[in-house]
Amino acid sequence: MPKSSLKQTLQDLDTKKISIRELNQDYLKRIKENENLNVFIYFSEDNVLKQIDNLENDNSAKKLKGIPIAIKDLFCTKSMPTTAASKILENFNPTYESFVTQKLLDEGSIFVGKTNLDEFAMGSATNTSFFGNTINPLSKENEPLAPGGSSGGSAAAVAADLCLGATGTDTGGSIRQPASFCGVVGIKPTYGLCSRWGIAAFASSLDQAGIFSHNVEDASILLQSIAGFDQRDSTSAKVDIPNYFENLDDNLNGKTVGIPKEYSIDGTPMEISQIWEDAIKVLEKKGVKIKNISLPHTKYALPTYYIIAPAEASSNLARYDGVKYGFRSDEIDSLDEMYENTRAQGFGREVKRRILIGTYVLSAGYYDAYYLKAQKVRKLIADDFNKAFKECDFIVTPTAPSAAFPLNEKQNDPIKMYLNDVFTVPASLAGLPGISIPFGKDKNNLPLGIQILGKHFDEQQVFNAAVSLERSYE
Amino acid sequence: MNNLIKGEKHDWEMVIGLEIHAQVKSNSKLFSSSSTKFGSSPNSQVSLVDAAMPGMLPVINKYCVEQAIKTGVGLNAKINNYSVFDRKNYFYADLPQGYQISQYKYPIVGEGKVTIDFKDGTSKDIRIVRLHLEQDAGKSLHDQNPSKTYVDLNRSGVALMEIVSEPDIRTPDEAGMYISKIRSILMYLDTCDGNMQEGSLRADVNISVRKPGDEYGTRCEIKNLNSIKFIKQAINYEAKRQIEILESGGSIEQNTMLFNTSTCKTRPMRNKEEAHDYRYFPDPDLLPLEISKEEIGKIKSSIPELPDELKNKFIETYKLSNYDASVLTAEKQTSDYFNETINSDSELKNHAKIVVNWITSELFSLLNKNNQDLNNSPISPENLGQLIKLISTNEISGKIAKDVLEDMFSSGKTARQIVDEKGLQQVTDQGEIAKVIDEVIAENSKMVEQYLAGKDKLLGFFVGQAMKLTKGKANPKMLNDILKQKLIKKN
């Protein structure tokens, strides 16, 4: 099934080769044909048709006019409910539009629906959702595969060509890992590039919005649309957003790539080591200098992440208490009972597990040993990168330690599940931009991903390296 | 000064520290743009941020930060260039986020001190540990429905300054003076409206007792007291309670107490074991607050004269006593009123003590009687100045002036108008006074004899009679002098 690119579609719309209605009806048809994948938590054909009507009556020029986009159901949207894949927000209808989705609406894009995710973005397989698993579109008959997570719905939506791009959020790898599993492009920009305003929070110091797309060019177009300073988010960065697409340059001659030795981990499948080597060879051929670098604190990244993220989550999710909005248990005889039953019934197992971990590591007597120490290690990890980037322009690693795994695997082994983030978490802790692009296949013909990391706010270099690798691979 | 209280067996000393919560005077909340206006209909001033909707983020209100810095300067305290907002996590229905944004390890203001002045002319410094910024919670309304609690989030997110003192306070009176002084400083700075009834200023009191010279005892904290009267009552009750326990051989449990304002008793709310673990950690939604020396300097230079500076100025300029000056400067409206009065006529500067007395005793008692405030006093400083001028130039007597003041208060007329209309000018014509005295002497010849026989007290009687005949208008000094002269001549 040849997937048309966003760039091509924009041209086709411009030259009237296709109308907005025709384009979106094509996507609507595919969405309905693929309902079994459980990609969307919210989908309404009427809602999409209404958006088409509105755009047809709109004569202004808009950059993404008529482009079908899928939205991770963690972004608050006015025209569609927002659940964070949790029972506790079932039927929650925000009265406000997140910064990122508002930007996409301003550009004239059409929201085809709200995509499935791990509950409150906590997971690596989109299997902790209150609304059921999403199935990886690359699954073979009778052997359903996980799409990765937490933004598995968005990754699957792009992979199954149910949209021309999708939003995701990445806290420890939630864009890059599912992009790798589904064979699509996924970019998590620098922390602070896109405002978090209107995104249900998981771990505030790590959460960052990003993009899924069919190719690097499309990602560069879409990221530019959602980036920018927002005074409503104190951690939003005041930086100029370049025209990533116009500036794309696949000539990497004279650049230096860093190859961190700590990312060679025992037990990594051969195929993954192989595509990493292949990528390095391609870059070398393009005149890129190969530099072996060391990020010595890498091995502490995962435990550090699994202290900081749950700590912040335990506090961020305290607002879901049944008092103001969302689900409230019927069994309430006292205020305490309302909290206990609402949260016991409203949250799933993984969310509860992380709230407990987070509460524990912040508790009196444990704070110094866990949270404070983790913050110190986080600083060391960031320093590792800062040092490394004095010697190289970008870093290349595998995205995930495996290809997409069967749906029910690792379900009952949280540690195994957490290991999925081993290559993605360090950059999250350091707030660096990272992209995953499909690069090679495993023995079962499943896609594997290469991750490119860049300096803070150097998304352009990340895109340039990515587009160069992508073009050489095609 | 003896600050000890008597128990059955020993004398005891109270050790008291206060945590004052002062609402920052600001049009909008600490982290949102909602209005802070008091008394609006429930939940009419609640933004998406205040209601903790998913994905909403706090943004610091710079004005509140400036107000906190100003207050810090007023408390002679160190302003910290670097401070951090932390989350204090606990569940309550009127705490929408499930945490309060506060400052824990790194407050915006560090150590400082304020001075309290006693009637006997002495004074004492109370040390401040810190001042930090935090959000107020909403209100749970338990009395609207027999089976339900309602929540009003209008107050949710309003900026508070928590001012923590060292345990330097030793008596309920000192506690009252301390909070009055803080209130006064905040109102001079215009950083808090000081309205204790509306809850803009409230305090938690930490109190323990000890035998003089001993180490600090175990303390209890009495929560949320919103008047100076209640603070004193609560301290008195709690100190007695602790002393009774200790003298009967018991020990104090470190409890958090509530004060019942109708029974005037404290009762435990929770003990140490039940104390919350607030799991403080830096709020990842907010960057640390970094304030440059220049910014602090700019705020410092914008600060108005504070009560202590003003007090010293009054003492120096007008030769007032420390106590008079501290009464005048305790409230900004009083010192403003005094300033306007004394500056309304250049003559008045030489009669400062009279001006003080007329404001702090005569005018205050009139205002009190009529349940009014200096802010809306029907007598303007200029008019009071005019009245005092009439006294100081002997146009009217002090006694008549009191009647004139009352007339001014009720009619709104000026002192001059009233004196002219009613012909209240003092009689200073010697001949006229002498005529009246002759009349009095003639009519009371028996008494004159008694006086001359040595009954000196009768002098007052003659003065009274003469005053009566002049309807109180005779200049008292002249009347006295002439009367004495005439009586001597009789001898």
* pLDDT in the model for residue B387: 94
* pLDDT in the model for residue A474: 59
Distance from CA of A469 to the nearest CA of B (A): 36
Per-residue pLDDT averaged across A354-367, rounded?
A: 96
* pLDDT in the model for residue B428: 76
User: By C-alpha distance, which of A465, A463, A457, A423 is closest to A295?
Assistant: A423
Instruction: From chain B, pick out residues whose CB is under 8 angstroms from the CB of A204.
Output: 284-285
List Cα–Cα distances, B464 to B187, B268, B471, in angstroms.
Answer: 47, 63, 10
Facing residue for B99 by CB, picked from A82, A234, A318: A318
* pLDDT in the model for residue B472: 81
Report whether A129 contacts A85 (CB < 8 A): yes
User: By C-alpha distance, which of A232, A187, A177 is closest to A208?
Assistant: A187
Distance from CA of B275 to the nearest CA of A (A): 12
Helix (H) / strand (E) element for A42: namely strand A40-42
Name, in order, each residue with C-beta under 8 angstroms of B178's C-beta and a sequence gap of 6 or more.
B18, B114, B116, B126, B165, B169
Mean pLDDT by 10 residues, chain B (491 residues): 81 97 97 92 96 98 97 97 97 96 98 93 95 96 90 96 98 97 96 94 97 94 95 96 95 94 91 86 97 95 92 94 90 93 92 93 92 90 94 84 92 90 80 87 87 85 87 83 84 68
- List pLDDT tens digits, range A63-73: 999 999 999 99
Nearest CA in chain A to B278: A363
* pLDDT in the model for residue B421: 87
Instruction: From chain B, pick out residues whose CB is under 8 angstroms from the CB of A319.
Output: 52, 54, 96-98
> Which positions of A are catalytic?
72, 150, 174
B93 and A323: CB-CB below 8 Å?
A: yes
* Terminal Cα-to-Cα distance of chain A (whole angstroms): 16
Per-residue pLDDT averaged across A111-137, rounded?
A: 97
- List pLDDT tens digits, range A426-456: 999 999 999 999 999 999 999 999 999 999 9
Per-residue pLDDT averaged across A34-42, rounded?
A: 97
Report whether A176 contacts A424 (CB < 8 A): yes
Instruction: From chain B, pick out residues whose CB is under 8 angstroms from the CB of A324.
Output: 51-53, 96
Interface residue A364 vs chain B (CB under 8 A)? yes
Instruction: From chain B, pick out residues whose CB is under 8 angstroms from the CB of A200.
Output: 54-55
Facing residue for B87 by CB, picked from A315, A364, A367: A315
Q: How confident is the model at residue A280 (pLDDT cuts 50, 70, 90)?
A: very high
Distance from CA of B81 to the nearest CA of A (A): 19
pTM of the model: 0.90
B54 and A200: CB-CB below 8 Å?
A: yes
- Give SS3 for A210: strand
B57 and A362: CB-CB below 8 Å?
A: no
Tokens 């598995």 belong to residue: A152
Facing residue for A318 by CB, picked from B55, B57, B91: B91
- List pLDDT tens digits, range A386-419: 999 999 999 999 999 999 999 887 667 777 788 8
* pLDDT in the model for residue A167: 98
ipTM of the prediction: 0.96
Q: In what order do the strands lie in the sheet with A434-441?
A: A40-42, A110-115, A68-72, A165-170, A208-213, A185-188, A434-441, A447-454, A394-398, A256-260, A289-293
Interface residue A335 vs chain B (CB under 8 A)? yes
Report whether B284 contacts A205 (CB < 8 A): yes
Q: What structural domains does chain B harbor?
A: 18-174+183-209+276-299 (no CATH), 305-422 (no CATH), 430-490 (1.10.10.410)
| Cβ-based interface (< 8 Å): residues of B facing A | 48, 51-60, 87, 89, 91-93, 96-99, 149, 151, 277, 279-281, 284-287
B89 and A232: CB-CB below 8 Å?
A: no
Per-residue pLDDT averaged across A256-279, rounded?
A: 94
Report whether A40 contacts A31 (CB < 8 A): yes
Q: How many beta-carbon pairs below 8 A join chains A and B? A: 94
Distance from CA of A167 to the nearest CA of B (A): 16
Report whether A120 contacts A349 (CB < 8 A): no
> Rounded to whole angstroms, how far apart are CA atoms B155 and A133?
42
Q: How confident is the model at residue A1 (pLDDT cuts 50, 70, 90)?
A: very low
A1-474: CATH superfamily? Amidase signature (AS) domain (3.90.1300.10)
User: By C-alpha distance, which of B457, B418, B423, B462 is closest to B440?
Assistant: B462
Name, in order, each residue with C-beta under 8 angstroms of B451's C-beta and a sequence gap of 6 or more.
B458, B459, B462, B487
Nearest CA in chain B to A98: B55
* pLDDT in the model for residue A411: 67
- List pLDDT tens digits, range A289-335: 999 999 999 999 999 999 999 999 999 999 999 999 999 999 888 99
